């Protein structure tokens, strides 16, 4: 496959006369921030080039004089005339702001939806995300992705992503190229991504180019801001849940910059005075609840020379939830402390190098770590009559985690206008700690203390990958992206290999409509063990092992795309087949058998998902937004679940609708509104009861029977909760002064107060019969936030 690609590329290149290349970076004029996805368009030749993640572009043309248009959404486009008689390095700066001439260049711009070979890839500009309504005034990147077709939320208010029938572990969450394993704060109600620190976010749901691998369902690629190269700036937001501060500026003007951003919730600070006032009613008991989360992003980038650039970025986030209680009674006292904490930390060093006008490389060394810890500690102390103290202490601490070290190199190579080749390789060392419990017992001096660790042993593995892809145009109306991704896993003396072909095509119909199709196979070597219906940090990251085979999938998609006067319309259909899916066996869970190996509690199976997605999106003008609709099916089958029969996935959602409108009322007032509708979640409920009798004493006559009342569940996920629908609205008032812009953001979550189901319980009704009730937890929630940019 690789040699075929090279031959193909060479063949195309040989057919050209003398060519030269114009290359460089495209950046924001005011901040120096590199612009990813900006385009350089040569109307004479009807060819163009887009910038990569680092703002680098490379456009190769035959010798001649050309008019070039450089554009990017939200920026005023610029036109240049160039005499291309040698390779030219040309850095371009664009000014933010909607340009009057935007309509003029609309027809000439490159990278419209019908021009892109890549399908199933979507992006919401960060500026739009910041204007969307937010629960508690806290803007959330993951929740904004849930508004896109094919992407669903896990439950009311939660930030988990279920993409085209996949589970959350099948999403590769990249922060500056580094995988993050847990992206949730506050038990999943918020994601760890601070919008003020983020420059760009894209999601790819299918048709994956060969440069991506390692997950079955989506790639969420988030880039942190590089930091302002020109002048010092900051942003601070105060909402009812948290506050955040972002500072950025030059370390050396136009050479090096920094960006730091921190966020902390103050739920604990708000609740503690209330708890303390309750505590005063009983002086013998004190209760000390705690909950907080924080996250911190930092980045430094340095232009070492014209051709080299270094980036160092870090992320650290932590949640800590717990309850401590102390009770005194006479001469004795006891205390208990229950806690649940999880944390992420990421560090990355990257080196960009331009090998010439046609080749760009990025080398990356990264570390990513996720830890989870929960447990209870109990101690009791009693003073005897002779004032001697007797102590009893017990502690049970459960910990799990994963730590990755990654080295990766990527090359972009543009030999001619028709070919854009990417290739690279990576290797990851995974270290998994899939759940271990530390037990400590101390009964005092008379008994020997116990201090032992139960549970699964750690597992380390090496995952390596290499890829090559070529985006080329064999005919005027046809563009192709063909690639091959190979990966290999070495774990527990077993080696898994996988070759994953990728194909995407774009065929332009005469009226400008693009017909797109793609095929991609993916392999995943890490798994998240989770109990369906609960999205908790207790979910366990486990590796493929000698006994657990990797997850694999293939996905085929086809669709139409076209843009009309600022409107982009796309229609896609897809079918995805998954194998090697991992699930707890019936009756198992993360708390089952503390000394059991997790591999004994799981079963592997298969799944499929299929459906259609429609999106109409308006990206420019005073009114922007989109309407998305998804019709989908997603099913699972495991030998040891549901008697081996197929069943609907928990998040199988037949209909999913989202409407997003953002409107600029005036220079001071912005209005945004969203409305979402989704079919109810599939769930398993106890459906019937019966009484059974079994011998309990085999030494008797056989007539000594023991009776049980058993509740019998429905078929797996045989029921549906009520459909989900909700409207949100947000109004922002901004006031610009000489050096600052201050904004009041008024949001209302669930604006028409529709209680959506969050959990279900069997309960007694008023007339003595039993009923099953759905409960909602989020009514209408108004909120206000204040923001200052300086």
Partner 1 sequence: MKNNISLWVGLYGLIILSTGCERLSEGVVQEIEFPEHEPRLAVSMLCNWDSDTLVARAQSTAGILDADGSQKQKEALFTLSQSNGSSYTWGGTDDWQNGVGHVFENPGLEEGEWTLTVEAPGFESVTGLQSTPPRIDTLNGAAYPVAFVFTPLEPEVDEWPEENKIFVRQIIEVELTLPTRDNAQDFFLLQPTIDSDAVSIEEYAEIRVDWELDQDPRAERLSLIDGLLVQEVAGSIGLESITLELEVEYYGENLEGYEALSKSLQVVAITPEMAAYYVSLENIQNPSGFSLFSEPLLAYTNMSSGYGCFGVYRSIALPL
DSSP state of 723: P
CA distance 670 to 730: 8
Q: Any contact of residue 280 with partner 1 (CB under 8 A)?
A: no
Q: Any contact of residue 770 with partner 1 (CB under 8 A)?
A: yes
Q: Any contact of residue 771 with partner 1 (CB under 8 A)?
A: yes
As measured in angstroms, the least distance from the Cβ of 689 to partner 1 is 5
As measured in angstroms, the least distance from the Cβ of 744 to partner 1 is 12
485, 716, 726, 787: residue in contact with partner 1 (rule CB under 8 A)? 716
Interacting span for partner 1 (CB under 8 A) from 144-152, 173-181, 623-631, 757-765? 757-765
CB nearer to partner 1: pick between 272 and 722: 722
CA distance 526 to 545: 9
CB nearer to partner 1: pick between 563 and 650: 650
755, 784, 788, 789: residue in contact with partner 1 (rule CB under 8 A)? 755
333, 335, 492, 722: residue in contact with partner 1 (rule CB under 8 A)? 722
181, 466, 757, 785: residue in contact with partner 1 (rule CB under 8 A)? 757
As measured in angstroms, the least distance from the Cβ of 225 to partner 1 is 32
731, 784, 786, 789: residue in contact with partner 1 (rule CB under 8 A)? 731
CA distance 348 to 483: 27
CB nearer to partner 1: pick between 691 and 737: 691
Asked if residue 527 lies in contact with residue 169, where contact means CB atoms within 8 angstroms, the answer is: yes
334-360 as b/e: b if 16+ CB within 10 A: ebebebbbbbbbbbbebebbbeebbbb
CB nearer to partner 1: pick between 576 and 726: 726
Which residues inside 546-585 make contact with partner 1, applying CB under 8 A?
583-585
Q: Any contact of residue 448 with partner 1 (CB under 8 A)?
A: no
Q: DSSP string spanning 428-470?
A: EEEEEEEEEEEEEEE--TTS--EEEEEEPPPEEEEEEEEEEEE
∠ CA 534-374-429, nearest 5°, is 85
Q: N- to C-terminal Cα distance for the chain?
A: 52
Interacting span for partner 1 (CB under 8 A) from 157-165, 443-451, 628-636, 760-768? 760-768
Q: How many residues are present in the chain?
A: 790
Q: Any contact of residue 338 with partner 1 (CB under 8 A)?
A: no
Interacting span for partner 1 (CB under 8 A) from 43-51, 316-324, 504-512, 772-780? 772-780
273, 386, 693, 738: residue in contact with partner 1 (rule CB under 8 A)? 693
∠ CA 227-224-468, nearest 5°, is 120
Instruction: Locate 689 and state its tokens.
Output: 């009861």
Q: Any contact of residue 231 with partner 1 (CB under 8 A)?
A: no
Asked if residue 579 lies in contact with residue 115, where contact means CB atoms within 8 angstroms, the answer is: no
CB nearer to partner 1: pick between 253 and 770: 770
As measured in angstroms, the least distance from the Cβ of 601 to partner 1 is 9
As measured in angstroms, the least distance from the Cβ of 545 to partner 1 is 16
302, 363, 713, 789: residue in contact with partner 1 (rule CB under 8 A)? 713
Which residues inside 459-518 make contact with partner 1, applying CB under 8 A?
none
Give the three-class secondary structure for 169.
Answer: helix
Sign of CA dihedral 591, 595, 597, 601: negative
Q: Any contact of residue 760 with partner 1 (CB under 8 A)?
A: yes
Contacts of residue 387, defined as CB under 8 A and 6 or more positions apart, other chains included, come to: none
Interacting span for partner 1 (CB under 8 A) from 208-216, 298-306, 563-571, 638-646? 638-646
How many chain residues touch partner 1 (CB under 8 A)? 75
E strands within 114-238?
Answer: 121-123, 151-153, 161-163, 171-175, 178-179, 184-185, 190-191, 198-204, 218-224, 233-238
E strands within 585-704?
Answer: 602-618, 623-638, 647-648, 655-664, 669-678, 682-683, 686-695
Q: Any contact of residue 29 with partner 1 (CB under 8 A)?
A: no
Which residues inside 656-675 make contact with partner 1, applying CB under 8 A?
665-666, 669
Q: List C-alpha distances in Å: 570 to 6, 113, 181, 617, 740.
A: 32, 8, 31, 9, 39
CB nearer to partner 1: pick between 621 and 718: 718
Which residues inside 595-614 make contact with partner 1, applying CB under 8 A?
596
CB nearer to partner 1: pick between 99 and 534: 534
Q: Any contact of residue 776 with partner 1 (CB under 8 A)?
A: yes
Q: Any contact of residue 721 with partner 1 (CB under 8 A)?
A: yes
Q: Any contact of residue 644 with partner 1 (CB under 8 A)?
A: no
Q: Any contact of residue 590 with partner 1 (CB under 8 A)?
A: yes
Binding characters for partner 1, 519-548, by CB under 8 A (x = yes): ------------xx-x---x----------
As measured in angstroms, the least distance from the Cβ of 775 to partner 1 is 5
231, 645, 696, 740: residue in contact with partner 1 (rule CB under 8 A)? 696
CB neighbour class for 574 (10 Å; exposed up to 12, middle 13-18, buried from 19): buried
As measured in angstroms, the least distance from the Cβ of 664 to partner 1 is 13
Q: Any contact of residue 744 with partner 1 (CB under 8 A)?
A: no
Q: Any contact of residue 103 with partner 1 (CB under 8 A)?
A: no
As measured in angstroms, the least distance from the Cβ of 753 to partner 1 is 4
The distance from CA 597 to its chain's CA centroid, rounded to whole angstroms, is 29
Instruction: Locate 736 and state its tokens.
Output: 């610009």
CA distance 555 to 206: 7
As measured in angstroms, the least distance from the Cβ of 607 to partner 1 is 16
Instruction: Locate 252 and state its tokens.
Output: 């050396």
Asked if residue 614 lies in contact with residue 628, where contact means CB atoms within 8 angstroms, the answer is: yes
Q: Looking only at Cα atoms, what is the longest distance across the chain?
A: 104
CB nearer to partner 1: pick between 555 and 684: 684
Q: Any contact of residue 384 with partner 1 (CB under 8 A)?
A: no
∠ CA 504-173-176, nearest 5°, is 95
391, 643, 645, 740: residue in contact with partner 1 (rule CB under 8 A)? 643
Interacting span for partner 1 (CB under 8 A) from 96-104, 352-360, 505-513, 716-724? 716-724
Q: Any contact of residue 777 with partner 1 (CB under 8 A)?
A: yes
Phi, psi of 8 (to 5 degrees): -60, -45
CA distance 628 to 661: 12
Give the three-class secondary structure for 197.
Answer: helix
CA distance 550 to 553: 10
As measured in angstroms, the least distance from the Cβ of 694 to partner 1 is 5
CA distance 46 to 67: 11
CA distance 641 to 584: 9
Asked if residue 164 lies in contact with residue 632, where contact means CB atoms within 8 angstroms, the answer is: yes
CB nearer to partner 1: pick between 286 and 715: 715
Q: Any contact of residue 774 with partner 1 (CB under 8 A)?
A: yes
Q: Any contact of residue 730 with partner 1 (CB under 8 A)?
A: no
Q: Any contact of residue 645 with partner 1 (CB under 8 A)?
A: no
As measured in angstroms, the least distance from the Cβ of 286 to partner 1 is 27
99, 407, 641, 784: residue in contact with partner 1 (rule CB under 8 A)? 641
63, 685, 736, 740: residue in contact with partner 1 (rule CB under 8 A)? 685
Q: Any contact of residue 452 with partner 1 (CB under 8 A)?
A: no
CA distance 704 to 428: 60
Asked if residue 455 lies in contact with residue 477, where contact means CB atoms within 8 angstroms, the answer is: no
CB nearer to partner 1: pick between 392 and 719: 719
Q: Any contact of residue 589 with partner 1 (CB under 8 A)?
A: yes
């Amino acid at each position: 496959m690789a040699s075929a690609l090279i031959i193909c590329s060479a063949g195309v290149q040989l057919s050209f006369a003398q060519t030269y290349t114009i290359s460089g970076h495209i950046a924001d004029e005011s901040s120096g921030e590199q612009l990813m996805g900006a385009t350089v368009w040569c109307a004479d030749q009807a060819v163009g080039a887009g910038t990569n993640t680092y703002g680098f572009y490379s456009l190769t043309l035959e010798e001649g004089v050309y008019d070039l248009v450089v554009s990017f959404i939200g920026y005023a486009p610029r036109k240049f005339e160039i005499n291309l008689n040698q390779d030219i390095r040309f850095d371009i700066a664009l000014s933010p702001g909607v340009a009057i001439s935007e309509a003029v260049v609309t027809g000439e711009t490159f990278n419209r939806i019908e021009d892109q070979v890549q399908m199933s890839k979507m992006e919401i500009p960060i500026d739009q995300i910041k204007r969307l309504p937010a629960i508690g005034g806290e803007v959330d990147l993951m929740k904004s992705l849930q508004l896109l077709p094919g992407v669903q939320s896990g439950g009311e208010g939660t930030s988990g992503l279920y993409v085209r029938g996949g589970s959350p572990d099948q999403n590769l969450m990249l922060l500056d190229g580094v995988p993050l394993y847990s992206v949730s704060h506050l038990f999943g109600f918020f994601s760890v991504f601070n919008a003020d620190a983020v420059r760009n976010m894209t999601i790819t749901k299918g048709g994956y180019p060969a440069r991506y691998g390692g997950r079955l369902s989506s790639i969420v690629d988030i880039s942190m801001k590089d930091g302002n190269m020109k002048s010092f700036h900051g942003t601070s937001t105060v909402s009812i849940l948290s506050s955040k501060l972002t500072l950025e500026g030059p370390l050396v003007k136009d050479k090096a910059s920094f960006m730091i951003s921190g966020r902390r919730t103050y739920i604990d600070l708000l609740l503690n005075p209330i708890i303390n006032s309750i505590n005063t009613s009983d002086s013998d008991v004190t209760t000390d609840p705690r909950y907080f989360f924080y996250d911190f992003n930092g980045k430094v980038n340095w232009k070492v020379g014209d051709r080299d650039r270094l980036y160092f970025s870090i992320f650290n986030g932590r949640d800590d939830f717990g309850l401590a209680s102390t009770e005194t009674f006479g001469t004795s006292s006891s205390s208990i402390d229950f806690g649940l904490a999880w944390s992420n930390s990421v560090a990355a060093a990257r080196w960009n190098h331009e090998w010439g006008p046609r080749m760009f490389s990025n080398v990356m060394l990264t570390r990513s770590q996720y830890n989870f810890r929960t447990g209870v500690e109990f101690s009791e102390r009693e003073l005897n009559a002779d004032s001697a103290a007797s102590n009893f202490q017990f502690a049970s601490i459960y910990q799990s985690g994963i730590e990755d070290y990654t080295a990766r190199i990527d090359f972009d190579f543009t030999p001619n206008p028709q070919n854009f080749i990417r290739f690279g390789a990576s290797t990851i060392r995974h270290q998994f700690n899939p759940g271990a419990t530390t037990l400590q017992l101390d009964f005092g001096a008379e008994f020997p203390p116990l201090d032992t660790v139960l549970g699964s042993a750690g597992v380390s593995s090496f995952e390596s990958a290499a890829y090559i892809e070529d985006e080329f145009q064999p005919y005027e109306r046809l563009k192709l992206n063909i690639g091959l991704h190979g990966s290999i896993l070495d774990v527990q003396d077993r080696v898994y290999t996988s070759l994953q072909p990728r194909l995407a095509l774009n065929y332009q119909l005469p009226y400008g409509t693009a017909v797109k199709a793609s095929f991609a196979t993916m392999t995943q070597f890490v798994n998240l063990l989770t109990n369906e219906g609960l999205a908790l940090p207790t979910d366990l990251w486990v590796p493929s092992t000698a006994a657990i085979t990797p997850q694999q999938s293939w996905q085929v998609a086809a669709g139409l795309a076209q843009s009309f006067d600022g409107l982009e319309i796309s229609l896609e259909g897809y079918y995805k087949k998954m194998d090697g899916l991992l699930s707890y066996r019936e009756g198992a869970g993360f708390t089952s058998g503390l000394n059991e190996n997790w591999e004994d509690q799981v079963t592997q199976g298969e799944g499929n998902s299929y459906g259609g997605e429609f999106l109409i999106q308006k990206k420019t003008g005073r009114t922007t937004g989109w309407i998305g609709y998804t019709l989908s099916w997603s099913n699972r089958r495991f030998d040891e679940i549901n008697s081996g029969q197929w069943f609907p996935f928990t998040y199988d959602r037949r209909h999913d609708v989202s409407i997003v409108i953002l409107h600029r009322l005036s220079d001071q007032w912005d209005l945004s509104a969203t409305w979402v509708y989704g079919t109810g979640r599939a769930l398993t409920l106890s459906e019937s009861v019966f009484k059974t009798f079994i011998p309990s004493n085999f030494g008797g006559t056989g007539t000594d029977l023991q009776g049980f009342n058993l509740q019998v569940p429905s078929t797996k996920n045989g029921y549906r909760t009520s459909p989900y629908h909700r409207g949100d609205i947000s109004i922002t008032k901004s006031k610009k002064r000489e050096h600052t812009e201050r904004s009041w953001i008024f949001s209302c979550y669930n604006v028409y107060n529709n209680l959506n189901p969050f959990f279900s319980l069997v309960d007694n009704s008023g007339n003595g019969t039993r009923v099953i009730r759905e409960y909602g937890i989020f009514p209408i929630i108004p909120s206000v936030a204040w923001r200052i940019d300086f």
